Amino acid sequence: MDAADGPEIDGPAAGPIPTPSAPPVAAWYADPARRHQFRYWDGSVWTGHVATNGITSWDPPYTDDPRTTASTPPTSPVPAPPVDVAGLGLRRTRGPATALGWLLGIACGALAARIAAAVFRIVQVRTAQAWDESKDPSPIIRRLQDADNYLEATSAIAALAFVAILVVLIVWMYRSARNAVALRRWDNGLGPGWAIGGWFVPIGTWFIPVLLVQSIWRGAEDDAPARGAPRRRSRAIGLWWACYLLGTIGYYGGSTVPDIDTAQTARDLYTADTLTIVGCVLLGIAALVLRGSVLAVQRRMRVITSDRC
């Protein structure tokens, strides 16, 4: 062959031949094979890393060179894919999450006030036991009544805070669960409607809410939950639920003796106030942990959904 006819090509080419419009840098781009939303370009070839709505999977690598064959999935990681959230009808959760953060902070203040009221009554009961019978009992009786009034007031404030928190938490859970379903990041067999009903179903109220919050937390992780994979659990959410259950038992156990007129003995008041203090401490821990968990999930979902939640 003459040199003018060009060089002769023996054997396969050294590598795949990208299209003229091949991207200049490694990143996620629209899948040129049109089988998925995105495909990862590693700077030289279209890899088998594909993603749809943030769910990564493996697909035979795309190439316009018929001499390039599909390979096995590589073990090297690639950056997280983008999520196309347009048209998914995502619910706004920023408002409920922010309101929940404020309400949980207020609840901690109300619980601290109730602890102070319980300690005040314990002190007054001890003072009454040591009171000199030869003195006028009016001052100590008045202080005992004041202690009861303080406990009643803090109990009313705490009850209002609890109702407000429950309403806002249900709204946040329901919307977050709906978003996780829309993004295909929901790994719970229970539907989003259980974010409401789970709080009111007998027996189920002891475990359904925490299962849903755990699923919401998993759906907000960088790696979407994979079907069939072991379900990861947040220790913080587990701590929240344990403190909430134990704190509720202690809190309402202390309410069985609401005032000095109901108590049979001073020991009854001591027991009730001690249970109240323990219950309030546990509920305060639960409120702080839940606040941190909700805000963390919210921050992650804002990144995943490009600030659409």
- What 8-state DSSP symbol labels residue 39? E
Helix (H) or strand (E) holding 27: strand 27-30
SS3 at position 49: strand
212 contacts: CB under 8 Å, gap ≥ 6: 173, 177, 188, 190, 194, 195, 198
**CB-based contact 281:302 (threshold 8 Å):** no
Number of helices (H), then strands (E), in the chain: 6, 4
This prediction has a pTM of 0.72
28 DSSP β-pair partners: 40
Our CA angle for 215, 56, 63, nearest 5°, is 175
CB atoms inside a 10 Å sphere around CB 73? 12
- What 8-state DSSP symbol labels residue 57? E
Q: What is the pLDDT of residue 229?
A: 61
Take residue 165 and report the two structure tokens written for it.
């928190």
Q: What is the pLDDT of residue 82?
A: 58
Exposed / middle / buried, residue 150 (Cβ in 10 Å: 0-12, 13-18, 19+): middle
Could you give the strand order of the β-sheet that contains 46-52, starting from the edge strand earlier in sequence?
27-30, 38-41, 46-52, 55-58
SS3 at position 106: helix
Exposed / middle / buried, residue 101 (Cβ in 10 Å: 0-12, 13-18, 19+): middle
Distance (Å, rounded) from C-alpha 183 to C-alpha 299? 16
> Which pLDDT tens digits describe the chain residue by residue (309 residues)?
444 444 443 433 333 434 445 666 777 788 888 887 788 888 788 888 887 766 677 787 776 644 444 444 444 556 656 555 555 678 899 999 999 999 999 999 999 999 999 999 999 888 888 887 778 888 888 888 888 899 889 989 999 999 999 999 999 999 999 998 888 888 888 999 999 999 999 999 999 999 999 999 998 887 666 555 667 889 999 999 999 999 999 999 888 777 777 777 888 889 899 999 999 999 999 999 999 999 999 998 888 777 777
Q: What is the pLDDT of residue 76?
A: 52
Distance (Å, rounded) from C-alpha 50 to C-alpha 28? 9
Spell out the long-range contacts of 20-27 with Cβ–Cβ below 8 A and sequence spacing 24 or more: 27/79
Kindly list the domain boundaries of the chain, sorted by start residue.
Answer: 11-84, 94-221+232-304
